[in-house]
Structure 1
C-alpha cells in the first residue's frame, strides 16, 4: 500500500460509477465524500468506470459522468480507468485463485441452478449454490463458470468506520461466481482486483454495499492482499422517508445544473446528507475539506429536501460575484432569444434581480425583458394597460424622459407631479409604463427599471407602446 513521507499509509479513495445512466444524487454524494476524505487527509482520489456491463454501458453516460464531476469541481488525481480495459488482469487473478485452490470450475447449467433454487425455496431454505462442483476438480468447458471457494464455517468480521463492528456467518455466504461463462469478470472480482492494484486505502460507499463487503474481504484474503478500511454511508431518502426516486423530483446531478442551480449549492446540500459540523449549514469548498471526516457521518438515513436546496441556492446566487453570475446566466438567456446580451446592461440589472431569483433559470426570466431590444409583449397586459386611455400618460412620460433623463430621484419626483396634475394614483402611471418597458405586469420597482434601461431604450419602448395604445 502507498505510503506518505513519514511512512504512514497514504489515504487513497476511489469513486467507481457504472456508466449505465446519469450520475444521480446518491452517486454524487458518494463521490463527494470520497473526494473530501482524500483532500482532508492530503491523499489521492481515483476515478474508475465500472463498465463491464457491455449491454448497458454507453459512451454518452461516460461523458455525462465526467461532465457532472467537472461541474461539481470534483477533480481526480488518477484516472479515469475503465474496467473494460483490464480483462486480462482479472483473468490473471482468476488463474491465481484457481492455482491456489481458492476457486474452481463449475459446470452446472442455468437450468440446473434454477431447479436447485426452486427446491430450496420450496423447502423454505436460503437459495444458495450447494457446491456440487466444489470438489470435482473440473476444468474449463463451454458454458462453465469459475466460482470462489469460500469457507464453510467461521465468521467474517470487520470494523465499519461509520457503522461499527459487523459480523457475517460464512456459512451464509455461498460460492459466488467470479468469472462468467463468456469470460467476463463479475463485479466482486473486478472491484477487489482494482482496489488492490490501485492501492485503495479506504472504500467509502453507500450502505447498500454492506452485504457485499464480507464476500470482497474473503477475496482480498484469497489473493493475499491487505484489506482497505470500509465505511458505508447512510441511504438517502425523500421527504416522505422513502427511498429517493424520480417521484421526489430530479435525481440526476446535471438536471439540477440545467434547472439553474449553482454547483456550490449542490455540493453543500450533498455534503449535509449524512454529515454535519455543528449547526453550520453553509460551507465554502475549503471549509468542507477542512472539516470533513468520517467521524461526523451519521448512521441514520439522510433526507434530501429539495426546498432546502432551493433556499440554499438562492443564498449562493445572492452571494455570487456579479461578473461570475453574468457568465453563469448566459446559457439560460440564449434559449430566450438573448444570444449576445449587452454586457453593461446585464451587469446593471443583475444586482436588482438577484434578490428575486432562486435559480439561474428564474434569473434569466427576470433579465430577459431588460436585455431584448423589443421584449415580448403580454397580450393581456397590453389590452389592460396600453389602450387609448393610457396614451396621454405614456406621452407625458415620454416627454419627461426626453427632458429629465431616467435618474430614479428625478423620475420619482416627476411621476408624483404627473399624478397630482392628472388626478391619478401612482399605479395608474407606473403600471402602463411598466408594461410599455417590460412587456409584462411584474418587474422590479419602476424607477429602478428606468435607471437600468437608460433614456434611449425607454424612449424607444414608450414609442412602441404608444403605437399599440393608439391602434
Structure 2
C-alpha cells in the first residue's frame, strides 16, 4: 500500500518538477524479489494517479525498473574496483563482531590492504577516504557535514557479485539525469555514502532535500504496524483526493498568507522546497477530516451525488439493492452534504429510508427513550395521521406537542427521530419525514410504541 509519507514526497517532487519545467521520474526499485509483485507496482501507479500525478502528463517519466539496469550496476562496481576505489573482503559478520567486540560498530577495514581478488563469497567494499568530511548540500537542512572517519567501508556488491541498493541507486540517478532528490529524512544517513559514490564515478552529486518525518498524535513516527498510513485506506473511507493532496502538501510547509484550503495549482505556485521545515510534521486526522468536510461542502451537488455512489452499494450498503431509489437520494443529498466529514459516513445518514425497518442502535434508543417519550410519540403519531405532509407543517405539529408537554422542540423531537430513523443524530428531521412519507412514518411510530410498551 502507498504510504502517506511517500505520497507527500511524491507531491513535493511533482510540484518542484512542474515549477521548474522539469521531469518527475518514477523508478521502481525492484531488485528485492520478495517485495516485488506486479499488483504492487500497479498500486503505486494508481495511487499516484489518484493524487494527480499521471503518466499522461508531459512532466512524468517512467516507470523505470531498477532490475533492468543490473548490468550497468555491475559495470560501475567493477570500475570502482579497477580504479582502486573499492576492494574485496572475505570477512564474515561474526568475524567482524569478534574483532570489534560489538555487533553495532561498523566494518573495521581489515581487508583494505590484503589485495584480495574477486572470488565467490567475497563482497566488494567501497574505500572511504580516511580524512576530511563529506558535505551534503541540502535545500532544507543547509550543508550538514559527515566526517569520513565515521563512515565505514561499506559494501557495494555482495558475495555473489550482485550490486547493493546504494550503488544501484546512484547509477540509476546518473543514467536518468537526476538533478534533485527530494525524499524523507530517514535517508539522510545514506546520503554521504551515495555522494561519495557519485564523486568516485566522476559525476557531480544532485542537490538533496530531506523532508521532515511525519508523526502521530503521540509524536511517534508514523508506522504501518501501529497507525493507519496507507493512502488507499483514506480514499476507501471517503476522503476526497483533492483534500488529501491539499493536506499532504501542508505537512512540513505552508503558504505565506496562512490560507490553507487551496487547489493544487495554487499550492504548486506558492510551494518552495527551500521553505520546508525541519521539525516533525504531525499527521492530524481531525484536521484532515475538517479539510475533507470543507471540500465536500464545496462540491456541486451533482458531483457530490456521483462521488457518494460507491458507498451506496455493497459492501457498504446495508439495504437490498432494489430498495435504493436514486431520485430519493438526490433529494437527501443536499441535506447530507453539509454534515459529512468523509463520504463513507453517507451510509449511516441515509440507510433508514432504504431499509424496511429502523436501523438498530440501542445506544440511541436508550438515550432518547426517557420517561415521557411514549406520550410524545403517541401524541405526535395521532396528529401526524391527519396533518399536511410537508416539512414545515410537520415541524409545527411537533412544536405543538412539545408545548403541551412543557418541552423545547429539541427535546421533543429526539424520541420521534429515533423511532423513525433509529439514531439520535442525522439529517434534518422534518425534511426526512416528508421524504419517508406518511404511511412509513406512522408505521415506524407504531412499532416504537409497541417496543416501549413491551
The 3 A distance-change label for structure 1 pair 161 and 321 is: same
Q: How big is each residue's C-alpha offset from its partner over 1:310-334, in whole Å with a ceiling of 9 and x where there is no partner?
A: 2222222222222232233233333
Contact kept, 8 Å, 2:384 with 2:394, in 1: the verdict is no
Matches of 1:168 and 1:415, distance apart in 2:
75
Matched, 1:311 2:290: yes
Q: Tell me the distance in 2 between the aligned counterparts of 1:303 and 1:248.
A: 15
Deviation at 1:389, TM superposition (A): 8.5
Residue of structure 1 in register with 2:446 after alignment: 466
Query: Unaligned 5+ residue runs, structure 1?
Result: 1-21
Residue in structure 1 matched with residue 106 of structure 2 by the alignment: 128
Structure 2: how far apart are the matches of 1:297 and 1:237?
A: 16
- Normalised by the size of structure 2, how large is the TM-score? 0.85
Contact 2:255 2:267 in 1 (8 A): no
The CA RMSD over aligned residues, in Å, is 3.1
Contact conserved, 2:88 with 2:122, CA < 8 A, in 1? yes
Map of 2:317 onto structure 1: 336
Q: Distance in 2 between matches of 1:256 and 1:140?
A: 50
Q: Counterpart of 1:98?
A: 81
Alignment partners' CA distance in 1, 2:158 and 2:350: 57
Matches of 1:137 and 1:183, distance apart in 2: 17
1:69: which partner in 2?
A: 48
CA distance in 2, matches of 1:213, 1:427: 62
CA distance in 1, matches of 2:411, 2:201: 83
Q: How far 1:85 moved relative to its partner? A: 3.0
Corresponding residue of 1:148? 126
1:30 aligns with 2:9: yes
Work out whether residues 80 and 200 of structure 2, in 8 Å CA contact, stay in contact via their aligned partners in 1.
Answer: yes
CA contact (8 A) 1:395 1:466 kept: no
* Deviation per residue, 1:210-265 (Å, 9 max, x gap): 22111111111222223211111222233333433468742222222233322222
2:270 matched to 1:291? yes
Checking the alignment, whether the CA contact within 8 Å between 2:106 and 2:152 is kept in structure 1 is: yes
- For residues 432 and 158 of structure 1, what CA distance do their matches in structure 2 show? 67
The one of 233, 254, 271 aligned to 1:255: 233
For residue 203 of structure 1, give the secondary structure of its aligned residue in structure 2. strand
Against the structure 1 CA distance between its residues 275 and 71, is the aligned structure 2 distance closer, same or farther, given a 3 Å change threshold?
same
Distance 1:216 1:24 in 2: 24
Counterpart CA distance in 2 for 1:68 and 1:299 is: 26
Q: Are 2:423 and 1:443 aligned?
A: no
* Aligned match for 1:280, one of 259, 262, 276: 259
CA distance in 2: counterparts of 1:174 and 1:199, whole angstroms: 28
Q: Specify every segment of 5 or more residues in structure 2 that has no aligned partner in the other structure, as ranges.
A: none
Other-structure match for 1:19: none
Judge conservation of contact 1:150–1:174 (CA < 8 Å) in 2. Answer: yes
Q: Counterpart of 2:165?
A: 187
Offset at 1:376?
Answer: 2.6
Q: Distance in 1 between matches of 2:126 and 2:449?
A: 83
Retained in 2: the 8 A contact 1:38–1:44? yes
CA–CA separation in structure 1 for the residues paired with 2:399 and 2:214: 56
Check conservation: 1:47, 1:78, Cα contact below 8 A.
yes
Q: Please say if residues 102 and 222 of structure 1, whose CA atoms lie closer than 8 Å, have aligned partners that are also in contact.
A: yes
Q: Per the alignment, do residues 32 and 392 of structure 1 end up closer, same or farther by CA in structure 2, a change over 3 Å counting?
A: same
Q: CA deviation at 1:40?
A: 1.9
C-alpha distance in 2, partners of 1:110/1:322? 64
2:193 to 204, 208, 215: 215
Judged with a 3 Å threshold, the aligned counterparts in structure 2 of structure 1 residues 429 and 299 are, in CA distance, closer, same or farther, namely closer
